[in-house]
């Protein structure tokens, strides 16, 4: 019988797990759920100590829960190999994992804020933050790059299960059947109709899947909700950001982590579009409430910091920049599908996002300028001397997907 946590029994559960005592004066509250996968409880103890207790939904007695297993395994990796200590500084400490009931307990970082909420409340995009994210991710990928002992450790599976197969994230939309008519609203069907119309998308995803090269430990879900920024970010020299929710981490492709991040920043721009039947796509992109130029600086700082921390990746993955752009397009499409599944909507902005995502996927070389504001050769040139990467003999002409004429707002 699976034990179900609630705000009424969580303190007793923690006491039985020796994570607190009756003298701690613990109090608990249930946090609002951002998805239908997990239940989150916040437990406050004396001394301003706070624990986050998570439990996977929809667990039955016949299935071994795996939702939190990878996160627990990741933290076991850090303990097993102390040389990875620097990585522990960018994550949150997991204190307890109950495999049977799929319960995970970690320290709650009360001095940190979710990055998306930070951007929404402050309306600024400090380069210090994206630089810290890029450096942290570069350290993670570099420290685990082509290290067989880490790869084998992360291949461990829950008791009674087969060992994990590498998951290739370059996946398109599943085949559509008649069942979809009862699962999504009528207006959302337009997304699937448009997706099927763009045959070039499936071809680009197939090519991306074939070129997928797992070589290091990847987070695999680096959206802005899974990045925390310190409340005193502008006063600290380190530990500005933390990466949380390692439930999807695995041995994977570094370009996917970067592409997911880039998609998150592009999403801020695209979600602020001004949409009207009298406006073309190009006009809507130019009139966005949050101009792309602001976010380009952050995206460029992100990739530059990443390459500073891990320049050798350019020897292994010489097409890294284009692959990042393609994965960004793929993630934008996947995010549309998720919003339909959870929010059950698809509007005019979604149509524009799909069109931009298509260009990122199918025309990555031309899209580099749109995403970063500079050409691919300009991005990698400063790091070429740190690698064996040869310089291009001739600068390639990159064409913008649209004209950037919108006003640049200061941060």
Cβ proximity of 301 and 131 under 8 Å: yes
Fold observed for domain 23-107: Phosphorylase Kinase; domain 1 (3.30.200)
**Where, residue-wise, is CATH 3.90.1200.10 in the chain?**
112-384
- Cα–Cα distance for residue pair 128/297, rounded to 1 Å: 11
The three-class DSSP label of residue 66 is: coil
pLDDT single digits (tens) 105-147: 999 999 999 999 999 999 999 999 999 999 999 999 999 999 9
pLDDT single digits (tens) 371-392: 999 999 999 999 977 666 444 4
Cβ proximity of 40 and 68 under 8 Å: no
Cβ proximity of 128 and 240 under 8 Å: yes
In this prediction, residue 193 carries a pLDDT of 83
pLDDT single digits (tens) 210-233: 999 999 999 999 999 999 999 999
Residue 409 pLDDT exceeds 60:
no
Q: Ramachandran region of residue 344, left (φ > 0), alpha (ψ -120 to 50) or beta?
A: left
**Where, residue-wise, is CATH 3.30.200 in the chain?**
23-107
Residue ranges of the alpha helices (H) in 226-319? 254-270, 281-286, 292-309, 313-316
Residue 403 pLDDT exceeds 50:
no
* Threshold 0.85, pTM exceeds: yes
Domain 112-384 has CATH 3.90.1200.10: yes
- Cα–Cα distance for residue pair 272/291, rounded to 1 Å: 9
């Amino acid at each position: 019988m699976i034990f179900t946590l609630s705000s009424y029994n969580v303190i007793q559960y923690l006491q039985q797990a020796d994570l607190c005592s009756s003298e701690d004066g613990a109090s608990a509250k249930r946090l609002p759920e951002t998805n239908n996968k997990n239940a989150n409880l916040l437990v406050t103890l004396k001394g301003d100590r706070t624990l986050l207790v998570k439990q996977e939904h929809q667990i039955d007695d016949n299935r071994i829960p795996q939702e939190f297993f990878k996160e627990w395994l990741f933290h076991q990796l850090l303990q097993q190999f102390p040389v990875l200590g620097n990585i522990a500084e960018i994550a949150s400490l997991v204190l307890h994992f109950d495999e049977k009931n799929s319960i995970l307990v970690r320290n709650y970082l009360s001095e940190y804020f979710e990055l998306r909420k930070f951007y929404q409340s402050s309306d600024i995009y400090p380069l210090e933050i994206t630089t810290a994210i890029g450096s942290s991710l570069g350290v993670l990928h570099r420290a685990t790059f082509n290290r067989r002992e880490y790869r084998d450790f992360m291949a461990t599976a829950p008791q009674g299960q087969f060992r994990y197969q590498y998951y290739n994230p370059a996946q398109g939309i599943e085949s559509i059947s008649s069942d979809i008519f009862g699962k999504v609203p009528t207006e959302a069907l337009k997304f699937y109709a448009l997706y099927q119309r763009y045959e070039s998308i499936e071809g680009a995803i197939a090519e991306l899947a074939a070129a997928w090269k797992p070589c290091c430990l990847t987070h695999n879900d680096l959206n802005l909700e899974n990045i925390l920024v310190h409340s005193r970010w502008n006063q600290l020299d380190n530990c500005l950001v933390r990466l949380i929710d390692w439930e999807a981490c695995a041995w994977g492709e570094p370009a996917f982590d970067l592409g997911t991040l880039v998609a998150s920043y592009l999403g801020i721009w695209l979600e602020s579009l001004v949409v009207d039947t009298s406006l073309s796509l190009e006009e809507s992109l130019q009139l966005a409430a949050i101009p792309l130029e602001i976010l380009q600086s952050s995206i460029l700082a992100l990739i530059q910091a990443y390459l500073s921390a891990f320049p050798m990746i350019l020897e292994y993955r010489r097409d890294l920049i284009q692959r990042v752009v393609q994965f960004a397009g793929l993630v934008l499409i996947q995010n549309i599908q998720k919003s339909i599944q959870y929010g059950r909507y698809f509007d005019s902005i979604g149509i524009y996002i799909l069109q931009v995502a298509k260009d990122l996927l199918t025309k990555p070389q031309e899209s580099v300028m749109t995403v970063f504001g500079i050409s691919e050769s300009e991005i990698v040139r400063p790091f070429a001397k740190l690698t064996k990467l040869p310089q291009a003999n001739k600068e390639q002409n990159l064409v913008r997907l649209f004209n950037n004429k919108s006003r640049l707002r200061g941060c």
